[in-house]
């Protein structure tokens, strides 16, 4: 993309309404624009990152054997009356009537809808196990929407629902989700720690929340410092293997890590003092096993081999896709702007032309742009007629992990400059080598 032809409405001023750094940078970098409280328009740069996160979530869900589909955002109240949640859900549910006076609502979550599809089409244990999921906009009329996309009213969520014949199978689905979430967040350059949580209105005994440590997090968390040394890495996992998923679960959940709702001071204090950590975290996902609560209420049953009809065991699993943009920025920025992890960056590499209009500089930039594009990478070429300082400030603000700077002086010596956004380190090298290096960095991503 050439910046002269892109739509990147960066702001010079720091917006007064933004209290935390991710919100400030998302507004300043022209990623989002508030439409009304807790509701945002996704401008091109923000939309690009949102799509990248969505893709990672899809890829990792499909890898784990889960099946994507899409439910409507507007739902009939009847189903929710059937499950018994319509009256209890409270003020967060946005309710409305259509022209015929029928009660409708904007989906805050979708247990009912998925269970309804299941009960209509699945009758036999032979069709199990089954995990269906969607990535769809949700609406919750939060009393205090704040922190930009972190606590919005309209937000993008991946929500998945497993249907299993037995508790044992459903717990495998739970473990499989835990493993798949670990992979998902690591690909986004995040460490998200699974913590024992409270199941709240969804109910059930098994639930973990995934938290990204950040000072601005809304949850207070308590954990054993050893947990932050754990990495999922690039290990291969057979998601159908009960043993393999169980082993990962035990490795990542055996140490103390809890949100304030489940915190147990006595157990925590039994840890050696130097390992006790009290911090704040951003909830980026949650998994639940809740048994047969919804399947019984809605009549989602299957025939077992001996011909009896049993309610299916279910769980639901959510990732806050739009909240993740904020969480990543909270975890990865400096005083100049965002620092995108390579896995989610909106463009792979910036190209800064120090002297637009100079024949050699323009030609070298075009050649770099062409070579990077031919390799399947997406560069952002700042080809505007602007001062170098302004170009650097924009690149730093929008946070591309790598930048190639091209100027007439360097070109006389046959070199351009390759700069790492995170470390600020630069090296001079011939243009072809800069391209090769950028390609190598992204080869495994």
Binding site for ligand ATP (CB under 6 A): 109, 140, 142, 151-152, 155, 157, 283-286, 318, 320, 322-323
Q: Which of 109, 115, 286, 419 touches Mg ion (CB under 5 A)? A: 286
Task: Please tell me the distance from the alpha carbon of residue 275 to that of residue 271, in angstroms, as a whole number.
Answer: 7
Number of residue whose CB is nearest ligand ATP:
320
Taking the complex as a whole, the smallest distance from the CB of residue 140 to ligand ATP amounts, in Å, to 5
Reduced to 3 states (helix: H, G, I; strand: E, B; else coil), residue 415 is coil
CA distances from 342 to 227, 404, 442 (A): 24, 15, 7
Q: For 140, phi and psi rounded to 5 degrees?
A: -130, 125
Relative orientation angle of helices 21-28 and 321-331, to the nearest 10 degrees = 100
Taking the complex as a whole, the smallest distance from the CB of residue 196 to ligand ATP amounts, in Å, to 14
> Residue 320's binding partner, choosing from Mg ion, ligand ATP, none, with beta-carbon cut-off 5 to 8 A by kind?
ligand ATP
The reply on whether position 165 binds Mg ion by CB under 5 A is no
Give the torsion through C-alpha atoms of 103, 107, 108, 111, to 10 deg.
100
Taking the complex as a whole, the smallest distance from the CB of residue 301 to ligand ATP amounts, in Å, to 26
Task: Please tell me the distance from the alpha carbon of residue 48 to that of residue 338, in angstroms, as a whole number.
Answer: 15
* Helix ranges restricted to H, 210-346: 242-253, 265-269, 293-298, 321-331
DSSP string, 19-35: -SHHHHHHHHTTSEEEE
Identify which of residues 103 and 261 has a Cβ nearer to Mg ion in the complex.
261
List the beta bridge partners of residue 74: 106
> Residue 284's binding partner, choosing from Mg ion, ligand ATP, none, with beta-carbon cut-off 5 to 8 A by kind?
ligand ATP
> Residue 155's binding partner, choosing from Mg ion, ligand ATP, none, with beta-carbon cut-off 5 to 8 A by kind?
ligand ATP
Taking the complex as a whole, the smallest distance from the CB of residue 285 to ligand ATP amounts, in Å, to 5
Q: Which residue stretch of 286-294, 365-373, 390-398, 425-433 sits at the interface with Mg ion (rule: CB under 5 A)?
A: 286-294
> Residue 157's binding partner, choosing from Mg ion, ligand ATP, none, with beta-carbon cut-off 5 to 8 A by kind?
ligand ATP
Identify which of residues 316 and 345 has a Cβ nearer to Mg ion in the complex.
316
Taking the complex as a whole, the smallest distance from the CB of residue 192 to ligand ATP amounts, in Å, to 10
CA 426 to chain centre: 30
Q: Applying CB under 5 A, which residues contact Mg ion?
A: 286
């Amino acid at each position: 993309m050439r910046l002269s032809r892109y739509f990147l409405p960066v702001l010079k001023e720091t917006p007064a309404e933004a209290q935390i750094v991710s919100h400030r940078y998302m507004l300043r970098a022209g990623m989002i624009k508030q439409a009304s409280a807790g509701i945002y328009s996704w401008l091109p740069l923000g939309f690009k990152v949102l799509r990248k996160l969505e893709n990672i979530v899809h890829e990792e869900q499909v890898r784990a054997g889960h099946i994507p589909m899409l439910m409507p955002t507007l739902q009939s109240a009847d189903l929710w009356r059937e499950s018994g949640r319509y009256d209890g859900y409270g003020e967060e549910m946005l309710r409305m009537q259509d022209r015929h006076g029928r009660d409708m609502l904007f989906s805050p979550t979708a247990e009912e809808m998925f269970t309804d599809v299941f009960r209509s089409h699945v009758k036999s244990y032979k069709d199990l196990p089954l995990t269906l999921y969607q990535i769809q906009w949700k609406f919750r009329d939060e009393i205090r929407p704040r922190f930009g996309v972190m606590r919005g009213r309209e937000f993008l969520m991946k929500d998945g629902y497993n249907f299993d014949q037995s508790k044992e199978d459903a717990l495998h689905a739970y473990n499989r989700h835990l493993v798949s979430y670990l992979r998902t967040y690591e690909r986004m350059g995040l460490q998200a720690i699974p913590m024992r949580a409270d199941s709240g209105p969804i109910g059930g005994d098994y639930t973990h929340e995934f938290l990204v440590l950040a000072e601005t997090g809304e949850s207070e968390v308590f954990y054993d410092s050893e947990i932050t040394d754990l990495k999922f890495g690039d290990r291969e996992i057979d998601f159908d293997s009960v043993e393999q998923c169980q082993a990962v679960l035990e490795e990542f959940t055996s140490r103390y890590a809890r949100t304030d709702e489940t915190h147990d001071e006595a157990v925590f204090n039994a840890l050696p003092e130097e390992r006790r950590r009290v911090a704040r975290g951003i909830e980026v996902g949650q998994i639940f096993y809740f048994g047969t609560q919804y399947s019984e209420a809605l009549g989602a049953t299957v025939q077992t081999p001996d011909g009896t009809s049993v309610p299916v065991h279910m769980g639901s699993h959510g990732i806050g896709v739009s909240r993740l943009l904020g969480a990543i920025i909270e975890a990865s920025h400096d005083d100049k702007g965002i620092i995108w992890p390579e896995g989610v960056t909106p463009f792979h590499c910036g190209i800064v032309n120090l002297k637009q209009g100079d024949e050699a500089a323009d030609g070298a930039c075009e050649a770099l742009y062409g070579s990077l594009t031919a390799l399947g990478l997406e560069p952002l070429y700042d080809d505007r007629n602007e001062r170098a300082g302004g170009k650097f400030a924009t690149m730093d603000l929008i946070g591309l992990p790598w930048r190639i700077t091209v100027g007439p002086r360097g070109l006389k010596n046959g070199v351009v400059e390759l700069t790492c956004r995170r470390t600020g380190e630069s090296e001079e090298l011939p243009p072809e080598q800069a391209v090769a290096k950028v390609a190598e960095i992204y080869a495994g991503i």
